[in-house]
Chains A and B, each alone.
Chain A
Amino acid sequence: MNDVCVRLEGVSKRYPHFLLDNISLDLPVGSILGFIGANGAGKSTTIRILMGLVRQDSGSVQVLGHAMPAEQTAAKLDIGYVSEDMRLYGSATLAWHMNFIASIYPQWDQSYADTLVRRFDLRPEQKIKGLSHGQRVKAALLLALGRQPRLLLLDEPTTGLDPVARREVLAELMAVLADERRTIFFSSHNTLDVEQISDRIAFIDRGRIIALEEKEDLLDRWRRVRLVVPPSAVLPQFPGIVEVGGTERLPVLITNHFDPAVVSLCQDRGATVQSIDSMTLEEIFVANVQSRRELQPA
């Protein structure tokens, strides 16, 4: 469990209108990282660098013990990569693609692939150009999963899938992790998916990692606190307040360093704590990004 599968150190990449700025991140073998960011935040660029498709300007990238992009040929034998812009051959069938992949990768497991065909509700004899968007996504995932790679690099694997298909895909990803030697790195803006299956969470915004931690720790730190402040009392201050909403008498605070001592602290100041609510990953992400953007406008 303690081996590192993916390690980025001080990785930067400059484009005319975008800077991936000094990204550091690591992911232990056997775990799953959910990579969350708005559109254009740098998710795909980071994943392409991990895959060796884009060369970083500076910094070091290690994937499965290989330096990228220099040793990408060796690394790619064990990486399953799926992204939106990956094209399959339109006039060929899914079965043809499975044979093609099987001829390149010796680890290809046809019986597992057959199971996936049924679970994903696909037909091997169908040509790719006749598939819907969701079916194409599932076909691409199937081709990656069937190789049983040690690392799955998935760029928005659930985008455009219907709820039933999404559940199937998430279940397959979790099934992959039943094997402790395998690791998943996936990006998404569906925070619900990420919240459910991730061990670790990274938030990226405007090319910078703004949070990287174990999911449970992250969810634990953030709370929304509703208060009742009588006219005579003052709004108590406590650590980590990132947002103050509501009204003067009924303020709603968001803190990213929640401490249960807040309740007695408020009572000492004459205010009452109405409720302390945990927040969803989506709420945390939005609050985090907004508070930073207010401090540092683009």
Chain B
Amino acid sequence: MHSGPSSIVLSQTGGPLYQQIMDQIKQKIAVEEWKAGDEIPSIRQLAVDLRVSVITVKRAYLELEREGLIVTQHGKGSFVATGIAVGPHLYEQKLSVHLEEAARLGTTIGMSGRELVSRLRKALDEVDDARPVSPKSLKESQ
């Protein structure tokens, strides 16, 4: 009943609901399921579809607006912002979260900065090994 291109799937164990809505909208924009300039569901409509409160969706939309990913025009609706490259932006944010987490964990177990950096290099090598080999990445890892 609630499927279709705008469907968002919320998890009861997946953290704050507004955050889940934000993350999934960002992903939709990143993969261009929702394209620049597209009208997105109204706050109330999405709330009804997702069975979550209006205020939760409103919060997600406000934060997305603040980040410049969507724009809301009074009386007209909300739209995906134009002229932004969301894909890189989205992964950039994720990366800083993970890097911070790694730094914090490293500090907790008393790991030196140098050690942490070498661990990151090792992790990079592992990812490179798993990646289909292209001439460029071969050069970089050697």
Contact = CB atoms under 8 A, between A and B. Distances in A.
Interface of A: 30-32, 167, 170-171, 174-175, 177-178, 180, 192, 195-200, 214-216, 219, 228, 272-274, 278
A178 B44 CA distance: 6
Contact of A196 (B15, B44, B53, B54): B53
B45 interface: yes
Please classify the interface of chain A as helix (H, G, I), strand (E, B), loop, or mixed, using the class held by over half of its residues.
mixed
A199 B54 contact: yes
Given A32-B54, A196-B53, A197-B53, 9 more contacts: A32-B53, A167-B51, A171-B51, A178-B44, A195-B17, A196-B12, A197-B52, A216-B18, A272-B104
Contacts of A215: 53, 55-56
20 contacts: A30-B54, A32-B53, A174-B47, A174-B48, A174-B51, A174-B52, A177-B47, A178-B45, A180-B44, A196-B51, A197-B53, A198-B53, A199-B53, A215-B55, A216-B56, A219-B16, A272-B108, A273-B104, A274-B104, A278-B15
B55 A214 contact: yes
A170 B45 contact: no
Contact of A216 (B45, B47, B59, B104): B59
Contacts of B45: 178
Contact of B51 (A31, A170, A228, A273): A170
Contacts of B12: 192, 196
Contacts of A192: 12
Contacts of A228: 108
Nearest to A273: B104
B107 interface: yes
